[in-house]
Amino acid sequence: MDIQGANLFFQLIARRYEKTSTVFTSNKTFSQWNEVFADVTIASAILDRVLHHCTVINIKGESYRLKERKEFMRQKQQIVNTLFEQGST
């Protein structure tokens, strides 16, 4: 995220801070947020506000989207295999 986007995101978080709930989902650890935002100071300020009264739920496991995609591809392959089997007889 460029510096302008990081600043705008910080402003959003700052306005919501201690007023309303915010839910984040991310595949990045908090230590990797410095890589997401253009400025380490802004990343630290955002994390400071986000983590102050938060509950962190760390979910490990396969992505639901990937799991669904694999199932879709498996079903598609079964259909293709069935069509080839029917065509060869």
Please report where in the chains the tokens 């991310």 appear, as a residue: 26
Q: How far is CA 46 from CA 5, 25, 39, 41, 63, in A?
A: 13, 15, 11, 9, 26
The average pLDDT across 55-64 equals 82
Degrees to nearest 5, angle at CA 19 with 59 and 45: 65
Local confidence band at 18 (pLDDT 50, 70, 90 cut-offs):
very high
The average pLDDT across 9-27 equals 92
Average pLDDT for the chain: 88
Q: What is the pTM of this model?
A: 0.63
For the chain, the distance separating the N- and C-terminal CA atoms, rounded to the nearest angstrom, is: 57
Question: What is d(CA 25, CA 7) in angstroms, rounded to the nearest whole number?
Answer: 20
